Structures are given as C-alpha cells and as structure tokens.
Structure 1
C-alpha cells in the first residue's frame, strides 16, 4: 500500500498521513472466514447497504416527495428513479474505495489534497451533515408530536438520546446496529404498503410518471423540487459513511479477497438502495393519490399531510401508519448521520476522541441550529425548511462526488 501512495506522489501529491481506520472500534469486527460457502458470505455482508439506504428515505425525503406528489402528481417519479440509479453507482464507488485502499473518502481527501483544499472540503461535508441532521431532527420531533403529542421543542431535545442508543448497540456489536436499522426499515415498508393499498393510485399515470418530461426543467417550481429530490436521495454524508462502514467486514487483504468483498458489498448496496427507491416512490405516490387527485396541491407540511390522510383515505389507521413510519425514519436517520459525522471528523481532521464524546459533539453541531429553528418557526414552515435543507444537500454533492470519482478512477490507487 505504501508503494501505491508513493506512485501517486508525482500526480496528486498523495501521501498516507497515518491514523487508525475510521470507526476503529468496529473496524473488521464482522468475521468472514475464507472457507465459508458463498451464501454465508453474502449474509455476512448484509448490513452496510441498509445503513446507507436510510439516508435515502429520511424526513427530508418525506417533505420533498410529499410536496412533489401533492403539487405535480406522478410526474417527478422520473427524478426519483434517476437519482436512485445515480445513488447506486456512487455508493458502489464508495465501497470500492473503502475495500481496495482501506481508507474512507474523508481520509483519502486528507491524504491526497493539501490542507488549504482539504479543510474547505471538510467544512462542506460538515455543512451537508448539519443540513441532513436538521431535517432528521425536525422530522423525528414531528413524528413524536403526531404519535404522543409532545411539543416540537421537547421532541428535538429528546433526539439527542440517539447517542446513547448507538453506544449501547455498538457495545453489543456492529451487527446489532445494522439489525436495529433493518428492523425499522421493515416497519416503514409495511406502513407504506398499507397506505398505498388504501390510497388506490392511478396505476397508468404512475407508470407514465417514470418517463421524464421537459416541464421538469422548464417549470421553476418543478426544477426546485427536482433538486430537492436529488439532494434528498443522493446525500453527501452517505458517500463518506459507506466507504467507512464497509470496512467493518474482515474480508482479508489479498486481491482475490478484495474482489470478492467488492462483489458481495455491491450486491448488498444495490438491493438496499432499490428498497429505498421503493419507499421514496411510495411517499410520492401516496401524496399524488391522496392529495393531488383530490385537489389538495398545497400540502407541504408533514403534520398537515398526517391530518388529511384519514378523511381522504377513509381509514382511521392511515394517519397512525404515517406517523409510525415517520418516527422510524427519523430514528434511523439520526443514527446513521451521527456515524457519518464521526467518520468525517476522524477522516479529515484525524481527531481521535472517546466514542461518546465524538458522537456528542457531532450531535450538538446539528441539534443547536435545529433547536433555534424550531423555536423560531414552530410548526409553521417546517415543511419548506425541510425541502430547503435537501436543496442545500444537492448543492454540496460535487464536493464529495468529484474527489470520489478522482480516487476510484486511478489504477495506482485502487490496484
């Protein structure tokens, strides 16, 4: 590996700056024996893709897809599909980088670029995580309010407890974190299957929605929502996270081991992101069938959508399913965003702190602005704020995508 870095020196100034692997406490913690049958290895690799998929269906996605479906029906399903395909490709590059080099994307940026360039990239990554966390904290707080009647301000503060949840699960093993996330994802999928059945969408219009139209670009409102869908789907923090958590597998260091690990991790990632695409499309379809079809094109707030579901679908259980799915999405997303914040901080700054302190700092970076915004806006305007946070994420994408493509396209780096 040191030879690879020296070969890059004349091209990108690549130098390995040392430091332990990201998430060192769980790195290589999931055992994979060389003699295992293929099916058992496939099962061992199930997990990281689903942690990443969580970011593709967070509360920011909800607000954006609800607004898109309510205002424009099924027409922005094409953007959801295209952004999901783009996400599958980018996440495949991330896991390749992590497995081939043993360095995550943040560490690779610190290795390759001078400090005056890597620090702005770190700030851009932190801004993206703050925008992500803002959406997730507010979404979780709304879920708590809808289910239990808690004020938004108290709900935002309670989301800080996810730090304790992550620590407790990781003490048991990283597989417990993955099992927790996958269990909540199954609950979310079940809730939306039930709601779609109640909504009875127009299947012909739904299929037609996957064909892109010129109005997506020519209509400023559609374009704004399309940018929000892209930012909500392909999240910058997921690129950093995936390149780190794929290294929790003890896949071996030979070239053959790495090639096999890349194939199995790619299968896990692709299946998980197709699952995320189903959930994202279901949110938009639900909004199109329930709100656009009944002329309620102004629905943009999550609590507003919750209140309207029962009279429009004619089932008292529909709002409860919506609230449960929202809360599960928010809990899942705050867990993975906290892990991503740890990866970014460790990778760019090589800053090693106690696990509980690292996660507390990462959470505070997001929870402070979330509390301020919640006190200022209250229940009004939270939907628009969620959509705006996703547009910010779409504008942050190049700062993560360009280095990722640069690194994974180089043979001397990737081997």
Structure 2
C-alpha cells in the first residue's frame, strides 16, 4: 500500500505522489513510443511504395510539354496556368485509375484489352482485326510519337550544351541510353527495380532544381502568376483554346497509363528471401550429380569462362520464348482471379497517394515553372511580341538576358527530362507488346526494337530538315498523342467501372485482424455464399471519368478541324 499524502502534498496542488509520477512517466514514455512507431511506419511505407508515382510523373513534363508550355507562356502570359493545373488533375485521375486496375486485377491495361477482345465467344476475327489490333497499332503509334519527342528534345539539349554538335549527332547520342536499359533487370517483370526508380527519381530532381534556380534569377510577378491559376476569358480568345488543347494533349500521356498499370501489379511489401536459408539445389540427387560432373570436368581457363559467359549473355538476348509459356493462360476475365484481398489492401491506397503526390508535386510544378519562365521572359520581358518561343529561343534569350549559367541549367534540365521520359517510353513499349500480342522475344530485344522505331524518324528529320523542322515535328507528335488518347482512356474507364472485373474475393474464414472491408460486397456473390469486395468506380467517379473523356474527345475534334482548315493560331 502507498503511504497517505502528507500535509504539504495536500496543501500544494502541484505536489505529486510517487505513484502519480510513475504513471505520468509511463504515459510520457508511451507517447514517445507511439511517435517512434508512427515515424517508423511512415518511413517504411515511404521507402516501400514510393517510386511508381515518380516514374509515371516523368511522362508529364517531357520535351513535348516543354515546347507547348513555352508557346503558351510566350503568347498568353500567365493566363493558361489554369489549363496546366487542370490537365495535371486530369492526368492524376486517370493515372490513379490505371494504378487501381493493376493493383486489384494483377494485370496491366494492355493485357486487359487482350482478354476483352482476343477470344470473344462470337465473331473472334472481327473483334481482333477491327478492335484489338487497331488499338495496338494506335498504342504503338503513341509510344513512337512520344519517343520521337524525347529523342529530339534530348538531342536539342546536347546541341545547346555543345554548339558544334549537329542535331543528328545529338539525337544519336541520346539513343545510347538504351545500353543502360540493357544493363538493368526487367523493371516491369514483376519485381520492383530500385536502381531503375532511383535513376528516374534523380533525373526528376535535377529537372526540378534546375528550373527552380532559373526562376529565381528571372523577374516574376508572383501575384499575377498565381492569378493565372484562376480561369479567365483568355481561354476563349484567338488561339487560346487551341493552345489549351495542346497543353492537355501534351500532358496526359497514353503510354504512362500502360506503364503505370503494369508497375502497380508488383508486390512492394513482400520481404526478399534470405539467400542463406535457400537450398543451393532442389534435390540431393542433383547435387551429387553436379558434384560428380564438376570433379570429372577438366579445369577451365579464365578465357574459356569469359567466353562461356558472353555466349550465355548473347543467347539470352536473342532468346525466343516458346508458345507453351502462354498456352495455359486465361482466355477471358471469367477464367482468372484477381489479387488476394490482403495484397490489394496493402498496396492500393499507398499507390494512389504516391501517384497524387508525385504528379502534383513534380509534374504540375515543373510544367508551371516552364510556363512562368516563358511568360516572364517572352511575354512580360524585353522580348515581348516576338511570337511563340521555341526551345532554341528560350536558351538563347536566357543566355543573353540572365546569363550563361541559367542557359546551361535550362539545357541540363531539358536533357534530364528528355532522357528520363525516353526511358519510360521504352519501358511502356515493352508492356504494350507483351500485353496486346504476347510478343515472345526477350525484354532486351523489345527495348532495342522500340528504341529503333523512334530513332529512325528522329534521325531522318534531324538530317533532312535540321533545326527549322524540329518544332514542327514536336507539335505533330503531340497532335498524334492527342488523337490516340481517347481510344486508350475509354477501355481504362470501362474496365475500372466493371464490378465483375474489379471485385476481390474475401478469404473464408476472414482473418481475425479486427479490420473489416469498408467497401460494399457484391450481393449476387453473397447469395451464392461467396463474399467479394468491390473496387470498381462508383457513380461519381465514373461520371467524372467519362466527363474527362468527352472533353478530350471534343478537344481533339476541334484540334483536327482547326488543323484541317488552317485556322489555328499556334
């Protein structure tokens, strides 16, 4: 028993008994312990789940965006910053849908299109030749157009850094990053490749830091700049709507939806197996046989070992996978099951947060900084009234007005943006070919072919036309992306709005974890004794998605008609 309080303790309200002080100490230590646990959990989830959002965000500030943002800022000042923000929100919404699709179903968007259209119960050939294969061709055209802009943008950056380098030489040098891709493991092959994600993250930070430094050296009226995020009548003035459509078309990238859905299928929580605990061979018999063969084999020289390794490497590069690998795969959505519920819960919301923060924190900010730079220099600055600004114009004016250091930073940021976006486009090409066609060649060969498809037209334009045709080709590539985009977004909206595709089975019996599904179950399956959790789009999300799709479709029709009539003011 504790001793009764003394007269001093009774008269002094701040005096504490030993038991009270012990309890307060325990409470304080408990609070600190909870804070440490919360901090560790935040760090753990940040390290595990960060990466996909940054990789996807790269597509939204590629050199095509740079060209459109420079044009918008030099012609309309800060007024089109609202369109930059709106297009970023559109991209964020669609990218979240792509992430949900991959996380819930375990398949990327291209594979889902194949399941929908390749083996229909009736009229198989019609579905394949009128829907599946044209959709694949459009997807490949989007990737080639994207890679075209990335190669040209990176080539321009090298020419700005090294003025004596011809444009075609810069384009050829930028294509050498494919050798870096050959050295990496397969980033979309099912396991996260942290080296790949760290490389992309470093390039993104280089772009952001360079643009921030440049903006700090340019006189910006920040009050007018923030007013640009509010809608204004400038959007409907001559040329404003057309340029706004160009911003939307250049921002929302089809290939990023394919790649984002593929990366969302990866298990980012499962611990790596302990190498020391794994058996070297699966069978003791095999172990004995291998030991005996090693004893009987004569010792090999170092040259023989190196030659054998080179032979194995080249055979793996040009390896063609057998058709049996895909012989037993499901032919429709009804024949396959989605990811288990614990996998979906462990990834879906973290993936959504990663994408939202990355797109708003990197893509929207970088695009806004590019437009603000063009506005401050070409619209409100000494070069006002000289018309739309190109990448070469921006570099030359920064060099003359701000200084050579700012111009160099501009070129470095453009190079980092082009190289990172080019790597992403090449990876997306691998996802598209595998998903649509089950193209059975090694990932290395897929990357080489994808890069060559974008390199050939880039080199042709760089040699035949030179700098004068680069801007035209960049605009043409963004128009091609804008035309393809509605055809890619519609299957994404259809798939993520389907309850039969986006439902996950509840394990029976339900684990006693004290956590119940927050999502409504499907009553049809409950009547059959099987519970499911529905992750499909609700009515509100479906309406928002189709509204965005209608806006994109109308914008494309307007852009095509304007180009055909020659009434655009680009």
Instruction: Name the TM tier (shorter chain).
Output: 0.7 to 0.9
Q: Offset of 1:109 from its aligned partner?
A: 0.6
| 8 Å Cα contact 1:78/1:209 also seen in 2 | yes
TM-score of the pair, normalised by structure 1: 0.87
Confirm whether residue 179 of structure 1 aligns to residue 198 of structure 2.
yes
Could you tell me how far apart the structure 1 residues matched to 2:161 and 2:231 are? 37
Note closer, same or farther for the CA distance 1:296–1:175 as it changes in structure 2 (3 Å cut). farther
Structure-to-structure mapping, 1:343-354, within 5 angstroms: 343-354=431-442
Match of 1:261 in 2: 347
Could you tell me how far apart the structure 1 residues matched to 2:184 and 2:386 are? 42
Q: Offset of 1:296 from its aligned partner?
A: 4.7
Match of 1:245 in 2: 263
Note closer, same or farther for the CA distance 1:384–1:292 as it changes in structure 2 (3 Å cut). farther
Match of 2:397 in 1: 308
Structure-to-structure mapping, 1:288-299, within 5 angstroms: 288-294=375-381, 295-299=384-388
Q: Which of 343, 347, 364 is residue 452 of structure 2 equivalent to?
A: 364
Match of 1:83 in 2: 87
What are the ranges of 5 or more consecutive residues in structure 2 without an aligned counterpart? 1-39, 118-126, 271-338, 504-570
Match of 2:287 in 1: none
Query: For 1:112-164, what per-residue CA distance to the aligned partner results, in whole angstroms no more than 9, with x for missing partners?
Result: 12312111111111111111111101000001111123211111122221221
Match of 2:152 in 1: 138
Could you tell me how far apart the structure 2 residues matched to 1:335 and 1:204 are? 37
Q: Which of 391, 408, 413 is residue 496 of structure 2 equivalent to?
A: 408
Note closer, same or farther for the CA distance 1:138–1:310 as it changes in structure 2 (3 Å cut). same
Could you tell me how far apart the structure 1 residues matched to 2:374 and 2:422 are? 24
| 8 Å Cα contact 1:301/1:381 also seen in 2 | no
Could you tell me how far apart the structure 1 residues matched to 2:71 and 2:250 are? 13
Match of 1:278 in 2: 365
Number of residues paired by the alignment? 378
Structure-to-structure mapping, 1:23-172, within 5 angstroms: 37=41, 39-113=43-117, 114-116=127-129, 117-149=131-163, 150-170=165-185
| Structure having greater relative contact order (Cα 8 Å, sep ≥ 6) | 1
Greater percentage in helix = 1
| 8 Å Cα contact 2:461/2:469 also seen in 1 | no
Worse-matched range after superposition: 248-257 or 346-355: 248-257
Confirm whether residue 236 of structure 1 aligns to residue 250 of structure 2.
no
Q: Report runs of 4+ in structure 1 exceeding 3 Å deviation.
A: 36-39, 250-253
Query: For 1:345-369, what per-residue CA distance to the aligned partner results, in whole angstroms no more than 9, with x for missing partners?
Result: 1111111211221101111111111
CA RMSD of aligned residues (A): 1.7
Q: Offset of 1:42 from its aligned partner?
A: 3.0
Please tell me whether Structure 1 or Structure 2 has the larger radius of gyration of its CA atoms. Answer: 2
Could you tell me how far apart the structure 1 residues matched to 2:242 and 2:267 are? 39
Could you tell me how far apart the structure 2 residues matched to 1:227 and 1:374 are? 27
Could you tell me how far apart the structure 2 residues matched to 1:297 and 1:81 are? 26
